[in-house]
Structure 1
């Protein structure tokens, strides 16, 4: 599903010389795999995630997502692949003019699903994440934890082939965090490949799995 080969990533800030934030990253995740992504703040976790969901391309090295060579692929071929990737962002990225229901429904509408099916699937998902009473609420009317649950529901509603979650339990209490992990494990059991970035060592201890560990932009462990 994912293969990195000696990948490096540079960012340019203003007129400064480009800074390499990821160095010589090599690993692979098989289809249906689950990985924790761990490391201190500034280790490069978010930059790694951005490459996997195709927001940026590697500066050097090779990156393959479901067999597609991302470095060499034509730009017009990437949106179709990107639509099969579900992403839970740290800052939620909900559309403020849409209510909770329509934010979650958005990926299904883009995919052209029938409206009757959309209504049933979205209602079930929002009930599952504990937001049955918040269908009509807009993001500014929701707490941080509620916004996060809407963002999670939106990311998984289309049963993505690949799920990326950046600190998805950061605004959730222990009960909701466990409920979320149950959802991730169920999707993974059904074949979705998942990478979950977290600082929550207790959560990792309760749900042991292989971990990718970054430090100062380098992969220091894959196991």
Structure 2
């Protein structure tokens, strides 16, 4: 048991070091370039460099939040600040943010008159960010995000192209360290998604996308007065 724990801790440290290095290098590089060449850069160049540094800083912040939530989920110390939440604007913000980090097309369809859901808005944004980012990382073509009302729930659907997820590995998708066939990410994003959705009383379903690819549906409880 001790050896397994030590191995997991070593894996965690190695993964963190790898994942944090890239955005941190980006932030440092762009900020240094702006400082060293301030008088020679146009306003557009400055804006581009600082915007890129901000995207990398946001990624660092998400990684740190993810790691803290893993620890809290594992120890049962997760705290939620739940309140009536309009999911549409949060989904729009998430799609806009992730779109800034990729050349892949991400579409969003939000049904009219969605009910408010019972959610910690920050955790909802984290769940959607991880799902959309997962679609970008592991699929091909367009990532399609949609929100629709179901009886007692709002359904968040994220679909991507590609080969989909084989039946034999689906049970592992929301477990710790799962990264799929491509060695990208911490392998903790969907583990956190599963924990946060479960903590809110929701559920997750994984299926094939018609025409190829993967489909993840999250059913999130609506707010009850």
Q: TM (normalized to structure 1)?
A: 0.29
Q: Which has the higher strand share?
A: 1
Larger C-alpha radius of gyration, 1 or 2?
2
Q: Which has the higher helix share?
A: 2
Q: TM (normalized to structure 2)?
A: 0.29
